[in-house]
Structure formats: C-alpha cells, structure tokens
C-alpha cells in the first residue's frame, strides 16, 4: 500500500508542479499543455451552451436529473445536438442510465477520441467507457482526475452541439474546480438537491461555491420530492419536503422546480431506459420538460443577441 | 478564478512534493512530519478498533448508518468509548445528525484539539465544527484534505476508545486513500449500499478498492431497503431490492443486513436525534443492533487473543 501511495504522490508532482521537471522537460510539457489548451478552446467554441449539474451532497439523483434533462433537450428540438460528459471519475453512472454499458471510446488519429452515441443522437463520454468491468475502481488523487477531464474536453470530437451537460461528482473539490477552470465559457450551473434538511445544509455550499468561482447559478431543482403510494395513492414525504424552495429563497437564486419520487425512475435508470422517453405523460416527465423550458429562458435572457462564441462569463 | 486555482496548485506542490522545498525547509518539514506521525501512532494505539464506513456511491445513507452504528455500539456496553471522525471535508453531515450543530473544536496547548462530546459520551470530530456557517464551502484539492484528516487523527485527544468509526465521502479518491494510508492498523471497512442496480455497480468498486489497499471487508449493509406505506401498510421497493445481497454473493464478502427505508430516520437525522435511541423497538433499530453484533463477531474472529496494540493489517 505504501508503494502505491508513493506512486500517487509522485504523479501529483509530475502533473502539477513544473519545478519538478528539468528545464527541457519543462519546455516540452509547457508546449504540449498549450496545444491541449488550444484544442480544448476550439472544441468548446463549437458547443453553444455548457451547463454543469452539481450538488453538494451525493445521492440526490444528480445523474438521473442530468440524463433526463439531456433527453428533454433532445426531445425538444435538439436531436443529435446534445452531449453529456460524466465527470464523476470514481462512480460513473451515466452509461448505465442511458443503456450504453459495455460501449468503449474509440480512438482516432492524433489521440482523437469519439464519444459514444446513444438514443436521439446523444453524445456521451464517461470514465466507465474506459474501465474493464464494474468492479474496477479508479484509485486516483486529484491531479490525475483533472488530467482525464481535460482530455475528455480537448481530445473528444464532440462536434457542433447545442448543449453539453457536465455531470459532476458531489462536493467542492478537484473535479468541480477542474471543470469550472477548464471550460472557458460555462453558461452556468444547475444545482440538484433533495428535500431533507441535511441535504439542504450541504447543497447551500454548492451555491456559495458557484458564486465564488464566478459561474452563474441557473437555478435549483428539488429531486425525490414527495412519494405517491402506488397502492393507496397517499402522498408521503419520504425525505420531507420543501428544502429546495427554502434554499432558493434563502440564497436568492431561481427555483427551477421539483421532481416527484417515482419508483419507475429508478427502474428505468437501472434498465438503461430514459424515463422521460418511456413515460411521456407522467408528472415527473412534465416536471423535467418545464425545467428545460426554464433553463432555455435563463439562457435566452443571458444572451440578448445571437452569437457564435461567447466572452468569458463572470 | 485563475488566481484561486493557481493557489490550489501551489498548495499541492508544497504539501506533497518534497523536491519543491529548499534543503533546510525540507529537513524542517521532514522533522515536523515525523513528529506528527509519532503523535498519530500514539493516538491510534489507544483506540481498540478502527472501522471505516465507505460506499462507492453518494447518498446511500452512509452518514446515517455511521451515526446509528456508533450509537448502537455505545448503547451496547461502550458508553463514553466510541468516537466518530467525519472525514467528508466538502459535505460534513455528522454534527447535524448528532444534534451537535454550532459546536466548535476547542484547542489546547501544543496544537492539541478536543473532540466535541455528544450523547452517550460520543467523541465527534468534523470539518463542520471549523466552518463559520452552512453556506461556507471548502474549495480544497486533495493534498489539503489529506493534511486536515492527518491533523484530525494526530492532534485530537481521542483518548481511550473501544471504537472509532470513520465516515468517508463517496468514491475511491483522496479522502479514502488518505485515511487508509494514515491509520496504521485499520480493522476493516463496512460498505454501505442501497438496493438499486446503479448503486450496485458503483459500490462493487469500493469492495475492490478495499481489497487493493489491503484492508479487510467486514461486510456490506443495504440501506433504504423497501418502504412500508404508513397509510396502508403496503411494502413498496422504492429503490428496488436485493442489491446488497447480490454484491455480497458476487464478491464473496459477508452480508451484514438491511436497514428498511423509514421516513422517521430522515426526520430524526434532520432533527439531530439519534434514530435508534429514540425508536428502540422499530425494525430499523433491530437491524442496526443485529449488524453491530455481526461486526463484533467479525472483530473477535479477527483477533483470537487480547492485545493492546495490533500489528499492521494486511
């Protein structure tokens, strides 16, 4: 174990600390870094809107929300024009939820990578596509995680997209910081929470995080909000209710809406089916479509005129 | 934002890469590190059993399980002899769940820190005790997180304890690696999952992680397993069922039991009440107490004779 951790520490040094290299190595590394940054900017300029989905707390259904928002965008006039980057390096769930398990990223000339394409022409990139099986953990410290996220942004042929949704792991550490730092003109973040007070306390940190790194908060979504017993129809607040709205009010950010707790969502996620495609009339689908409209309104407001590339958000 | 990230990168260099310091600084740092390691070993030697609670996936109720297991140990003959280290630096929930919000860690001579004491003499340490309010995020990369965890282990006067439970954030990155590396004789890990297949896939990674870093797997707990409608009594598998048992069978590790989904658990966590202390006869309490017995049996089997300090686990 000690040897392994030693390796980890060395990797950190190699990847982040320029003073650990000899001058020649340093020049070479610097050139490669600069070329990668240029590729990243070129790739990102071709994507109209970049939105990160975050939550302070894990397990609030952030990946489920990301997948269904992406599908909702695709269904509402953006077929073949939506991408999802699963930036959860340790626990990538997006491929399973989109029925893309077992697929791999195919490489092209010059280190190019092609995203996996799912239903409605969804472009998907995830660490999961690079792992041999479900049981393989990615035991990486932060700098290595930043490096792979950078590659996912700079070396993947995302193409011309209307929307790229970035699903981030919980917390305010390496992955969120890296994504916010790397994507040059992020439109904003969507914050997902669940109704419990414990979640509420942690999710507030995400709001402050977004404000501190200068990324606009598009709004907050409350997931797993109330449960209707399929046997008797009684409405039960399994995880209490109203936490999302309270955070929005307390921190003066937009409230995008609430998604009811529906066992079908979990079933469909497990089955790799897109819930909102399979259940077009359910209350949860209605909620997702309304939220997408809210997001589109936010983005229209944000940019009064048509533009091919935006200036850096502040 | 760039400035902030620059600072982050520099911190990584300072904290992990010895070659970034001048020789004198290096000697001083090395001496301080060695002294801290000695303090850590002394503190940890006074704690009979060290158990980490992990999960690949967030939001499976890991903190809830940790708090209730700790209380169960305290109730079953270990009053004043149980500690909880909340190693989730970005989203610390333990203080709220134990009704200890607003408390702070008090410092003593020589950089010593006193843990906060809760019900049944529970010793608790959490990043939350160092934050000015709920909204303050901890925007730290890995090396800084490792440093604070190290301080929590070496500089806190934990005293003579029978059990220290370490609640880790999800994933297999910096925090879990740091804890596994820092605690010299960890007894094992308890892995928490919820029944969905999506969780199952991610939690398997935790099992492999524990095996790869050479820490015994005490067993797996399935949380939020089935829901009984309080109105009509119908049993509904909100998040499906059986995922925990399947992982245990697939990966040949012990199955410790399942905790039913009970809205009271969420209410009590939010209210800072210990569920198992407040609801002594509920099925969930029964499940927690049975699991604690299983863990105790595992630990007895692990150590055939009485011993003050154990050799390093393999």
* Interface ipTM: 0.74
What pLDDT is attached to residue A314?
Answer: 35
Q: Is the pLDDT of residue B203 over 80?
A: yes
What pLDDT is attached to residue A19?
Answer: 41
Q: Find which of A90, A133, A223 to mutate to test the B interface (most B CBs within 10 Å of its CB).
A: A90
CA distance B197 to chain A (A): 5
Q: Which two tokens stand for residue B122?
A: 């529970």
Q: How big is the A-B interface in CB pairs under 8 Å?
A: 266
Q: Is the pLDDT of residue A226 over 80?
A: no
Which residue on chain A is closest to B193 by alpha carbon? A59
Which residue on chain A is closest to B231 by alpha carbon? A234
Mean pLDDT for the stretch of residues A183-198 = 88
CA angle B248, A198, A165 (to 5 degrees): 75
pLDDT in tens, B244-263: 888 899 889 999 999 888 77
Q: How far apart are CA B238 and CA A265, in angstroms?
A: 10
What single string gives the DSSP state of each residue in A78-115?
A: -TT-EEEEE--SSS--HHHHTT-TT--PEE-GGG-EEP
Q: Give Cα separations from B223 to B203, B219, B271 (angstroms).
A: 12, 13, 20
Whole-model pTM?
0.80
CB contacts, 8 Å: B8 with chain A: 177
CB contacts, 8 Å: B213 with chain A: 1, 4, 139
For residue B120, name the pLDDT band (cuts at 50, 70, 90).
very high
What pLDDT is attached to residue A302?
Answer: 77
pLDDT in tens, A38-60: 999 999 999 999 999 998 777 78
Which residue on chain B is closest to A58 by alpha carbon? B58
Place of tokens 């193409």: A159
pLDDT in tens, A233-276: 666 766 666 778 888 998 899 999 998 887 787 778 778 887 88
**Interchain CB distance below 8 Å, A238 and B227:** yes
CB contacts, 8 Å: B202 with chain A: 90-93, 134
Q: Which residues contact A75 (CB under 8 A, 6 or more apart)?
A: A120, A276, A277, A289
pLDDT in tens, B262-308: 778 877 877 888 888 888 888 889 999 999 999 999 999 876 544 44
- Closest by Cα among A201, A241, A56 to B263: A241
Mean pLDDT for the stretch of residues A141-154 = 94
What pLDDT is attached to residue B11?
Answer: 33
Q: Is the pLDDT of residue A9 over 90?
A: no
Mean pLDDT for the stretch of residues B32-53 = 94
The torsion region of residue B96 among left (phi > 0), alpha (psi -120 to 50) and beta comes to alpha
**Interchain CB distance below 8 Å, B204 and A93:** no
Q: Is the pLDDT of residue B221 over 60?
A: yes
Query: B 228-257 residues with CB below 8 A of A?
Result: 229-232, 234, 236-240, 251
pLDDT in tens, B138-191: 999 999 999 999 999 999 999 999 999 999 988 898 999 999 999 989 999 999
């Amino acid at each position: 174990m000690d040897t392994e951790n030693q390796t980890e520490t060395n990797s950190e040094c190699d990847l982040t600390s320029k003073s650990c290299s000899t001058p020649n190595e340093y020049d070479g590394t610097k050139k490669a870094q600069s070329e990668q940054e240029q590729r990243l900017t070129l790739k990102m300029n071709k994507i109209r809107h970049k939105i990160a989905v975050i939550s302070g707390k894990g397990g609030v259904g952030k990946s489920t929300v990301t997948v269904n928002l992406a599908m909702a965008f695709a269904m509402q006039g953006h077929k073949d024009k939506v991408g999802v980057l699963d930036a959860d390096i340790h626990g990538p769930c997006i491929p399973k939820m989109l029925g893309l398990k077992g697929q791999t990223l195919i490489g092209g000339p010059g280190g190019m990578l092609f995203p996996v394409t799912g239903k409605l022409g969804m472009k998907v990139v995830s660490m999961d596509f690079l792992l041999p099986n479900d049981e393989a953990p990615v035991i990486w410290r932060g700098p290595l995680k930043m490096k792979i996220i950078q590659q996912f942004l700079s070396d993947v042929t995302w193409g011309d997209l209307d929307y790229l949704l970035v699903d981030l792991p919980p917390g305010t550490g390496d992955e969120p910081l890296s994504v916010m730092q790397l994507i040059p003109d992020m439109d904003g973040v969507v914050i997902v929470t669940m109704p419990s007070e414990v979640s509420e306390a942690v999710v507030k940190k995400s709001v402050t995080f977004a404000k501190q790194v200068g990324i606009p908060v598009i709004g907050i979504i409350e997931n797993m909000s109330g449960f209707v017993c399929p046997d008797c129809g009684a409405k039960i607040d399994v995880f209490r209710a109203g936490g999302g709205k309270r955070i929005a009010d307390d921190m003066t950010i937009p409230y995008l809406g609430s998604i009811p707790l529906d066992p079908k969502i979990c079933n469909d996620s497990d089955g790799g089916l897109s819930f909102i495609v399979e259940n077009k009339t359910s209350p949860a689908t209605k909620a997702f479509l309304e939220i997408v409209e809210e997001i589109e309104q936010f983005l229209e407001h944000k940019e009064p005129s048509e533009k091919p590339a935006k200036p850096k958000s502040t």
